A = this chain, B = another copy of it.
Amino acid sequence: MAGYNVAPLSRLVEQFERLPGIGSKTAQRLAYFVLNMPKAQAQEFSRAIIDAHEKIRRCEVCCNFSDEELCPVCRSDRRDSTTVCVVETPRDAVAIEGTGEYRGVYHVLHGVISPLNGIGPDQLTVKELLARLNTGEVTEVIMATNPTVEGEATAMYLSRLLKPLGIRTTRLAYGIPVGGDLEYADDITLARALEGRSEL
Protein backbone atom coordinates (compact mmCIF):
# COMPACT_ATOMS: atom_id res chain seq x y z
CA MET A 1 0.00 0.00 0.00
CA ALA A 2 2.85 2.36 0.75
CA GLY A 3 3.75 2.18 -2.92
CA TYR A 4 0.82 4.38 -3.76
CA ASN A 5 1.87 7.17 -1.44
CA VAL A 6 3.99 9.94 -2.91
CA ALA A 7 7.70 9.53 -2.21
CA PRO A 8 8.27 11.87 0.76
CA LEU A 9 5.25 10.33 2.47
CA SER A 10 6.33 6.73 1.80
CA ARG A 11 9.73 7.55 3.24
CA LEU A 12 8.11 8.83 6.42
CA VAL A 13 5.88 5.75 6.60
CA GLU A 14 8.99 3.56 6.23
CA GLN A 15 10.70 5.40 9.06
CA PHE A 16 7.78 4.72 11.37
CA GLU A 17 7.62 1.08 10.24
CA ARG A 18 11.17 0.59 11.51
CA LEU A 19 10.09 1.35 15.06
CA PRO A 20 9.36 -1.63 17.30
CA GLY A 21 5.71 -2.65 17.53
CA ILE A 22 4.63 -0.35 14.70
CA GLY A 23 3.02 -2.18 11.80
CA SER A 24 2.32 -0.79 8.35
CA LYS A 25 -1.19 0.46 9.15
CA THR A 26 -0.05 2.27 12.29
CA ALA A 27 2.96 3.67 10.44
CA GLN A 28 0.57 5.12 7.84
CA ARG A 29 -1.60 6.62 10.53
CA LEU A 30 1.37 8.20 12.29
CA ALA A 31 2.88 9.54 9.07
CA TYR A 32 -0.39 11.21 8.09
CA PHE A 33 -0.70 12.61 11.58
CA VAL A 34 2.77 14.13 11.35
CA LEU A 35 1.93 15.52 7.93
CA ASN A 36 -1.15 17.22 9.33
CA MET A 37 0.75 18.73 12.27
CA PRO A 38 1.46 22.45 12.23
CA LYS A 39 4.87 22.92 10.63
CA ALA A 40 6.46 24.23 13.84
CA GLN A 41 5.43 21.09 15.67
CA ALA A 42 6.91 18.85 12.98
CA GLN A 43 10.16 20.80 13.18
CA GLU A 44 10.18 20.33 16.94
CA PHE A 45 9.73 16.57 16.49
CA SER A 46 12.49 16.41 13.91
CA ARG A 47 14.78 18.46 16.17
CA ALA A 48 14.07 16.28 19.22
CA ILE A 49 15.34 13.21 17.35
CA ILE A 50 18.61 14.90 16.41
CA ASP A 51 19.01 16.47 19.85
CA ALA A 52 18.56 13.17 21.61
CA HIS A 53 21.38 11.78 19.51
CA GLU A 54 23.68 14.74 19.84
CA LYS A 55 23.17 15.72 23.46
CA ILE A 56 22.81 12.42 25.21
CA ARG A 57 25.85 10.47 26.33
CA ARG A 58 26.62 7.97 29.07
CA CYS A 59 27.05 9.06 32.69
CA GLU A 60 30.72 8.59 33.59
CA VAL A 61 29.83 6.75 36.78
CA CYS A 62 26.73 4.64 36.18
CA CYS A 63 26.65 4.53 32.34
CA ASN A 64 22.99 5.62 32.31
CA PHE A 65 21.96 8.15 29.66
CA SER A 66 22.89 11.67 30.67
CA ASP A 67 23.11 15.15 29.21
CA GLU A 68 26.04 16.04 31.46
CA GLU A 69 29.16 14.26 32.69
CA LEU A 70 27.14 12.81 35.55
CA CYS A 71 23.51 11.77 35.33
CA PRO A 72 20.90 13.42 37.60
CA VAL A 73 21.00 10.48 40.02
CA CYS A 74 24.80 10.34 40.31
CA ARG A 75 25.12 14.11 40.79
CA SER A 76 22.37 14.29 43.40
CA ASP A 77 23.61 14.54 47.01
CA ARG A 78 20.35 13.07 48.27
CA ARG A 79 21.10 9.59 46.95
CA ASP A 80 22.82 6.87 48.89
CA SER A 81 25.88 6.01 46.84
CA THR A 82 26.74 2.98 48.97
CA THR A 83 23.96 0.97 47.30
CA VAL A 84 24.20 0.24 43.59
CA CYS A 85 21.29 -1.26 41.67
CA VAL A 86 22.47 -3.06 38.52
CA VAL A 87 19.95 -2.90 35.65
CA GLU A 88 20.03 -4.02 32.04
CA THR A 89 18.76 -0.83 30.41
CA PRO A 90 18.07 2.83 31.21
CA ARG A 91 14.36 2.02 30.98
CA ASP A 92 14.68 -0.41 33.88
CA ALA A 93 16.20 2.38 35.97
CA VAL A 94 13.27 4.61 35.00
CA ALA A 95 10.87 1.87 36.13
CA ILE A 96 12.60 1.53 39.51
CA GLU A 97 12.66 5.32 39.93
CA GLY A 98 8.93 5.20 39.28
CA THR A 99 8.38 3.34 42.56
CA GLY A 100 9.76 6.31 44.49
CA GLU A 101 11.13 3.76 46.99
CA TYR A 102 14.76 3.53 45.93
CA ARG A 103 17.32 5.98 47.32
CA GLY A 104 20.50 4.32 46.06
CA VAL A 105 22.24 4.75 42.72
CA TYR A 106 22.27 2.67 39.55
CA HIS A 107 24.59 0.90 37.20
CA VAL A 108 23.34 0.36 33.66
CA LEU A 109 24.79 -2.66 31.86
CA HIS A 110 23.29 -1.74 28.46
CA GLY A 111 22.40 -5.35 27.77
CA VAL A 112 22.78 -8.86 29.11
CA ILE A 113 25.36 -11.55 28.55
CA SER A 114 24.08 -13.49 25.57
CA PRO A 115 26.58 -15.81 23.87
CA LEU A 116 24.07 -16.59 21.11
CA ASN A 117 24.04 -12.91 20.12
CA GLY A 118 27.77 -12.60 20.62
CA ILE A 119 27.40 -10.40 23.69
CA GLY A 120 29.90 -11.06 26.44
CA PRO A 121 30.91 -9.04 29.52
CA ASP A 122 33.20 -6.89 27.36
CA GLN A 123 30.24 -5.56 25.37
CA LEU A 124 28.52 -4.52 28.61
CA THR A 125 29.65 -1.99 31.22
CA VAL A 126 31.10 -4.64 33.55
CA LYS A 127 34.56 -3.02 33.55
CA GLU A 128 33.03 0.28 34.66
CA LEU A 129 31.08 -1.52 37.41
CA LEU A 130 34.21 -3.17 38.80
CA ALA A 131 36.12 0.11 38.71
CA ARG A 132 33.34 1.71 40.75
CA LEU A 133 33.22 -1.06 43.29
CA ASN A 134 36.98 -1.07 43.76
CA THR A 135 36.83 2.38 45.35
CA GLY A 136 35.41 0.69 48.48
CA GLU A 137 32.48 3.06 48.93
CA VAL A 138 29.79 0.60 47.84
CA THR A 139 28.44 -1.83 50.44
CA GLU A 140 25.56 -3.46 48.57
CA VAL A 141 24.90 -4.36 44.95
CA ILE A 142 21.28 -5.17 44.04
CA MET A 143 20.96 -7.30 40.92
CA ALA A 144 17.87 -6.09 39.09
CA THR A 145 18.35 -7.80 35.74
CA ASN A 146 15.22 -9.23 34.16
CA PRO A 147 13.94 -12.63 35.35
CA THR A 148 14.89 -14.26 32.03
CA VAL A 149 17.48 -16.95 31.42
CA GLU A 150 19.97 -14.38 30.16
CA GLY A 151 19.16 -11.86 32.89
CA GLU A 152 19.69 -14.51 35.57
CA ALA A 153 22.89 -15.76 34.00
CA THR A 154 24.22 -12.21 33.93
CA ALA A 155 23.30 -11.69 37.59
CA MET A 156 25.02 -14.98 38.51
CA TYR A 157 28.12 -14.05 36.54
CA LEU A 158 28.36 -10.64 38.22
CA SER A 159 27.72 -11.94 41.72
CA ARG A 160 30.54 -14.45 41.29
CA LEU A 161 32.77 -11.62 40.10
CA LEU A 162 31.87 -9.50 43.14
CA LYS A 163 32.30 -12.23 45.74
CA PRO A 164 36.08 -11.61 46.24
CA LEU A 165 35.37 -7.92 46.88
CA GLY A 166 33.31 -8.77 49.96
CA ILE A 167 30.37 -6.63 48.88
CA ARG A 168 26.85 -7.78 49.80
CA THR A 169 25.03 -8.91 46.65
CA THR A 170 21.24 -9.14 46.64
CA ARG A 171 18.57 -9.81 44.04
CA LEU A 172 15.03 -8.50 43.52
CA ALA A 173 12.36 -10.78 45.04
CA TYR A 174 10.43 -13.13 42.77
CA GLY A 175 6.79 -13.77 43.54
CA ILE A 176 3.17 -13.21 42.67
CA PRO A 177 2.61 -9.72 41.21
CA VAL A 178 0.48 -7.55 43.52
CA GLY A 179 -3.15 -7.71 42.35
CA GLY A 180 -2.33 -10.89 40.45
CA ASP A 181 -4.32 -14.07 40.64
CA LEU A 182 -2.82 -17.26 42.09
CA GLU A 183 -4.83 -19.27 39.60
CA TYR A 184 -3.14 -17.59 36.65
CA ALA A 185 0.39 -17.44 38.01
CA ASP A 186 2.78 -19.73 36.15
CA ASP A 187 4.37 -22.67 37.96
CA ILE A 188 7.85 -21.25 38.19
CA THR A 189 6.67 -17.92 39.62
CA LEU A 190 4.52 -19.79 42.12
CA ALA A 191 7.41 -22.05 43.11
CA ARG A 192 9.63 -18.98 43.60
CA ALA A 193 6.91 -17.28 45.64
CA LEU A 194 6.70 -20.31 47.94
CA GLU A 195 10.46 -20.49 48.24
CA GLY A 196 10.68 -16.81 49.11
CA ARG A 197 7.80 -16.79 51.62
CA SER A 198 8.17 -14.57 54.66
CA GLU A 199 6.78 -14.56 58.22
CA LEU A 200 3.46 -12.79 58.83
Q: Is the interface of A mostly helix, strand, loop or mixed?
A: helix
Contact with B along A32-61 (1 / 0, CB 8 A): 111101010111111111111111100000
A94 near B5 with CB under 8 A, answer yes
Residue A173 CB within 8 A of the other chain:
no
Given the known inter-chain contacts A4-B97, A72-B6, please indicate yes or no for A44 contacting B65, CB distance below 8 A: no
Q: How far is the CB of A33 from chain B (nearest CB, A)?
A: 6
What are the residues of chain B within 8 A of A93 when measuring CB–CB? 4
CB within 8 Å for A32 and B72 given contacts A1-B97, A5-B65, A49-B42: no
Flag whether A121 is at the interface (Cβ < 8 A). no
Q: Does A71 contact B (CB under 8 A)?
A: yes
A80 at the interface (CB under 8 A from B): no
Contact yes or no, A21 B31, CB < 8 A: no
Set of chain B residues within 8 Å of A56, measured between Cβ atoms: 6, 8-9, 35
Q: How far is the CA of A89 from the CA of B31 in the complex (A)?
A: 13
Q: Which of B1, B15, B54 contacts A44 (CB 8 A)?
A: B15
Does A12 count as interface, using CB distance less than 8 angstroms?
yes
Shortest beta-carbon distance from A167 to chain B in Å: 26
The interface residues of chain B lying within 8 Å CB-to-CB of A20 are: 29-30, 33
A90 at the interface (CB under 8 A from B): yes
In the assembled complex, the CB of A5 is this many whole angstroms from the nearest CB of chain B, namely 7
In the complex, 20 of the A-B residue pairs with CB atoms within 8 angstroms, ordered by the A residue number, are A1-B98, A4-B98, A5-B94, A6-B56, A7-B55, A12-B48, A12-B51, A15-B48, A19-B30, A20-B29, A20-B30, A28-B94, A32-B89, A32-B91, A35-B53, A42-B50, A42-B52, A43-B50, A46-B47, A49-B49
